[in-house]
Amino acid sequence: MQALSPHGASGAITDVAGIMVGHHSDTRRPTGCSVVIAPGGAVAGVDVRGAAPGTRETDLLAPGNLVQQVHAVMLAGGSAWGLDAASGAVRWLEEQGIGLDVGVGRLPLVPAAVLFDLHVGDMRIRPDAAAGYAACAAASGRPPAEGNVGAGSGAVVGKTFGMQHAMKGGVGTASVTVDGVTVGALIACNAVGDVVDPDTGLPLAGARTADGSALRDARRALLRGEPPHQLLAGSNTTIGVIATDAQLTKVQAQRLAVAGHDGLARAINPVHTMSDGDTLFALATGHAPRHPGMLVLATMAAEAVARATVRAVLAARTLATPEGLVLPSHAELAARG
């Protein structure tokens, strides 16, 4: 297994055979969408831990339900409006001849999840079907861009004590390989909580002090009794996709999604709050000739998710909107110190 490099890349979800990723970033305001495509289909599962989710087609993935494979997963900004991006992915996939054979044609199956970025710029601009189509058209098997791109374009972290003390979130990716089997993750981090170093628990990006010059450490501040800012329900959320080339059943894919949330818990504090809609999908392409067992795969999934979440803030860039909102990046705050 690769060693975790907190300040460098550690693989990508596209290291998984049979996986492609594409981003679309809207230049009119910071928002966008990211798509993970499995052109050959993938056994899929999902686990929703946040209390304010925005999702599409998650019931399809229940282990007891009929359909065994999906063809892409869409992650988008724009809150509930952003779910429309999945319709564009369906159109693109149909044009490529990708989907479930229903006799009269092929029906692409595209589950989706969204995050809330409406407080960053003009909320009337949000991902739509055209954005989802564009993300698919841009997809490839190369390592995807990270930071202020796709679904992470308008992502913000550390809102526990208000947006004025928050920092820029984003998209990150990572992978781990054990004995020829790879598990990767793509995470769009827009959390209420801080993003922390999984090894030390120290914050990397999140709620800042009153003067904005340092990290407050939300966990410790809350435990000291500092009152949190009143949060709008659903105005946050970390969403992502775990992918592996191992051969899994739907039950196993769902368990892999469950295990992935352990990675979120290592890298975000607090996590899975009443104001987050934290949702992770799992995809298994089945390209690897072996299966290391679910204990190993679950450990790999949590590790990949934690690393990808860290990468989301390490790769983010400072954002300033015309409305006067300034969201410093991890790199800027570290340079000040």
Q: Is residue 287 part of a domain?
A: yes
Cα–Cα dist 177/16, whole Å: 9
Q: Is residue 77 part of a domain?
A: yes
Flag whether 76 is in a domain: yes
Q: Which of 197, 205, 215, 218 is nearest to 168 (CA)?
A: 205
8 within a domain of the structure (yes/no): no
In terms of residues, how long is the chain? 337
Q: How many structural domains compose the chain?
A: 1
Instruction: Write the DSSP symbol of residue 162.
Output: -
Q: Which domain holds residue 159?
A: 13-336
Classify residue 2: in a domain, yes or no: no
Let me know if residue 113 belongs to a domain. Answer: yes
User: What DSSP assignment string belongs to 214-266?
Assistant: SB--HHHHHHHTPPPPPPPTTS--EEEEEEESS---HHHHHHHHHHHHHHHHH
Cα torsion angle, 132, 135, 140, 145, sign: negative
d(CA 291, CA 83): 34
Residues 162 and 229 sit within 8 Å (Cβ to Cβ): yes
Question: Tokens 């054979």 map to which residue?
Answer: 101
Q: pLDDT tens digits, the chain, 337 residues: what are they?
A: 333 334 345 799 999 999 999 999 998 999 999 999 999 999 999 999 988 899 999 999 999 999 999 999 999 999 999 999 999 999 999 999 999 999 999 999 999 999 999 999 999 999 999 999 999 999 999 999 999 999 999 999 999 999 999 999 999 999 999 999 999 999 999 999 999 999 999 999 999 999 999 999 999 999 999 999 887 766 789 999 999 999 999 999 999 999 999 999 999 999 999 889 999 999 999 999 888 999 999 999 999 999 999 999 999 999 999 889 999 999 999 888 6
**Is residue 78 a part of any domain in this protein?**
yes
Backbone angles phi, psi at 104, to 5 degrees: -95, 0
Residues 6+ apart with CB under 8 A from 327: 120, 156, 166, 167, 168, 318, 319, 320
Residue 3 maps to a domain:
no
CA–CA dist 104, 85 (Å, integer): 24
User: Which CATH number characterizes residue 190's domain?
Assistant: 3.60.70.12
pLDDT digits 0-9 by tens, 34-79: 999 999 999 999 999 988 899 999 999 999 999 999 999 999 999 9
Residue 112 φ/ψ, nearest 5 degrees: -150, 155
Q: How far apart are CA 132 and CA 182, in angstroms?
A: 27
